[in-house]
Chain A
Amino acid sequence: MPKSLYYHPFPEDKMNRYERQIILPGFGIEGQVKLRNSSVLVIGAGGLGCPILLYLAAAGVGKIGVVDGDKVALSNLNRQVLFGEKELGKNKAETAARYFQEKYSDIKWEVYPEFITTENAQEMISGYDLIIDGTDNFPTRYLINDACVLLGKPLVFGAIYQHEGQVSVFNLGENVCNYRDLYPKMPSASEIPNCAETGVIGVLPGIIGNLMALEAIKVLSGFGKPLKNKVLFFNSLFSQTYEVEISPNPEAQEAMPASLASFEIMDYELACEGIKQLTWSEAMKKMNHDVAFVDVREPGEMPPLECTGLIKIPFSSLSEQFERLEDSYEVLFFCQSGIRSQNAARQLQEAFPDKKVYSIRGGINALKTN
C-alpha cells in the first residue's frame, strides 16, 4: 500500500467518520482503505438485507448495489427496519438507496429495482467484489450460488426459519465449498416454508443479517477469519450456536450448470419445484389452446375471477375432484399467491405423470400489481 494512504486516507474529514474502526487493532487504516475500495452487491432488501445494508453503509464499503423487485408491505415492517408506513407500496431497493443517500455522502449506490433472474444475473454480479444473498426462496438461492461459482465471486449466504438462522461464506479462496455442497438436493417450497408462511420475530433476521454483514467486512478487509467451509447455525429461542464443517462434494457439483450459457437457460423454479411456473401473460397465451384453467382458492377469496371455461376446485377438496381434470392434457393452476397452486400442480402431476401441469407465479396478487 502506498505510504501516503497512512497520512491522508480520508482527507475530506478532520475527525474521520471511520475513526473507531481505524483505531481498532488489526483492522486499522488498511482495513478501512480495503472497505472503501470494495464493492458489494446485496440481493434482497428484506429482513436480512436491511441490517446488512445498514451496517455495510455505516462501515464505509465504497460501492453498494442493492437488488429487489419487491414493494414494501405493512407486514414487512416488524423486521425490515429501513422502511416505515410512508414507504408502503414503494420499491424496496429504491427506497433503501434513497435512505442512505441522505445519510452518507461517501458511498456510491447502484439500484436494481427488479428480481434477479438467469438473464440479468451475470450483468448484475460481474461488477462486484462480493455478493450477499439475502433472498427468501430456494430457486433464487441456487441461482445466485451457481452464478457466483461460474463468475468466481465470493458469496456471503444467510437464511432463516422461524427461530433459527444459518450463515456461511461460499466460493472464497481455494478448495472452496458452495451451497450445493451443503444442500445437494434442491428442496421445494412446500417442504420448508418461508417467513410469510410461518412467522418470525424481527430480531432474528436482524441478528443473522448482522452476522452476514460481519462476514462481508471480514472477507473484504482481511480482518479475522470468515466462515469459509463452515456453516454457523443460530437458535434464537435458546441463544445457541452450532458450527459445522463442510467439504467439497464433487457429486453435488454435477448438478451445477457447466457454463454461463447453460446457466442462462436453466429454470431454477422447475428444478426446485418440479413444476413449470408461468407468468400471467404466458398463461394468457395458452388460453387459446385446449387447457384447463383452474382456480384452487377457497370460496370467498377476493377478488373473485370469472371467465368462460374457468374451473373452480378449492385446494381443500382437490384430490377428490381430480376426475374433473381427467380429460385435459394441459392444466394450469392459480391461487392467491402462487403457493397452493404449486402444491396443487405437484399433486396432479404425481397422479397423472403424462399431463402438462403449470402453476401461475404470484397468483392473483401478481395479476393485481401488473
Chain B
Amino acid sequence: MPNTIHIKAFGMVAEKIGTTELVMDHYQDSEALLDALLVKFPALKTIKFSLAINKKLISNKQEIPENAEIALLPPFSGG
C-alpha cells in the first residue's frame, strides 16, 4: 500500500477544494501538509479551519503517521 494521506473536507473547505474526499502524497508534518494544500487550493487562504489527524484535533505542528486520515474542519455559524 503506497504511503498516502486521506483528506476529508467539511463545509466551506469542501466547497473551496471542490470535493469532500481526496487522497494526497504523504507529508511529514501538519505544517508541510497545510503549505501543500494552500498551494494546491489557494482559495483555502481566505478561510480559517481546524485540522484533525486520525480524528484528533491538533493545535500545533504535528507529525503525520503513515496513511493518516486528515479532517479539515471549518467553523459553522448558522442556527
A-B contacts counted at CB < 8 A amount to: 103
* Tally of B interface residues using CB under 8 Å: 22
Q: Are A136 and B78 in contact (CB under 8 A)?
A: yes
Q: Are B55 and A245 in contact (CB under 8 A)?
A: yes
Kindly state whether residue A32 has any CB partner on chain B within 8 Å.
no
Query: Which B residues lie at the A interface, using CB under 8 A?
Result: 8, 10-12, 20, 46-48, 50, 52, 55-57, 59, 71, 73-79
Residues of A within 8 A of B20 (CB): 235, 238
Asked, given contacts A183-B48, A185-B48, A233-B73, whether A252 binds B79 with beta carbons under 8 Å apart, the answer is no
Which one of B11, B57, B75 lies within 8 Å of A138 (CB-CB)?
B75
Residues of A within 8 A of B59 (CB): 181, 184, 247, 249, 251-252
A135 CA to B57 CA in the complex, in Å? 24
Q: Are A159 and B78 in contact (CB under 8 A)?
A: yes
Q: Are B79 and A158 in contact (CB under 8 A)?
A: yes
Q: Are B79 and A164 in contact (CB under 8 A)?
A: no
Residue of B nearest to A237 (CB): B20
Residues of B within 8 A of A251 (CB): 59
Q: Are A134 and B76 in contact (CB under 8 A)?
A: no
Residues of B within 8 A of A122 (CB): none
Q: A134-B79, A137-B77, A194-B77 are in contact. List 6 more A-B contacts (CB 8 A).
A: A47-B78, A138-B77, A235-B10, A242-B10, A244-B73, A249-B59
Which one of A46, A185, A192, A242 lies within 8 Å of B79 (CB-CB)?
A46
Which one of A47, A194, A244 lies within 8 Å of B56 (CB-CB)?
A244
Q: Are B79 and A136 in contact (CB under 8 A)?
A: yes
Residues of B within 8 A of A165 (CB): 76
Q: Are B12 and A191 in contact (CB under 8 A)?
A: yes
> Using a CB-CB cutoff of 8 Å, which residues 149-208 of chain A contact chain B?
158-162, 164-166, 181-185, 187, 189, 191-192, 194-195, 198, 200, 205
Q: Which of B8, B11, B52, B56: most chain A Cβ within 10 A?
A: B11
Q: What are the nearest 7 A-B pairs in CB distance?
A: A161-B76, A159-B76, A136-B79, A249-B59, A160-B78, A48-B79, A195-B78
A292 CA to B62 CA in the complex, in Å? 48
Residues of B within 8 A of A184 (CB): 59
Residue of B nearest to A200 (CB): B78
A204 CA to B56 CA in the complex, in Å? 25
Q: Are A187 and B75 in contact (CB under 8 A)?
A: yes
- What are 26 A-B residue pairs whose CB atoms fall within 8 Å in the complex? A46-B79, A47-B78, A159-B75, A160-B78, A161-B11, A164-B10, A164-B11, A181-B59, A183-B50, A187-B75, A189-B77, A191-B12, A192-B12, A192-B74, A194-B79, A195-B79, A242-B10, A244-B52, A244-B56, A244-B57, A244-B73, A245-B52, A245-B57, A246-B57, A247-B59, A251-B59
Kindly state whether residue A141 has any CB partner on chain B within 8 Å.
yes
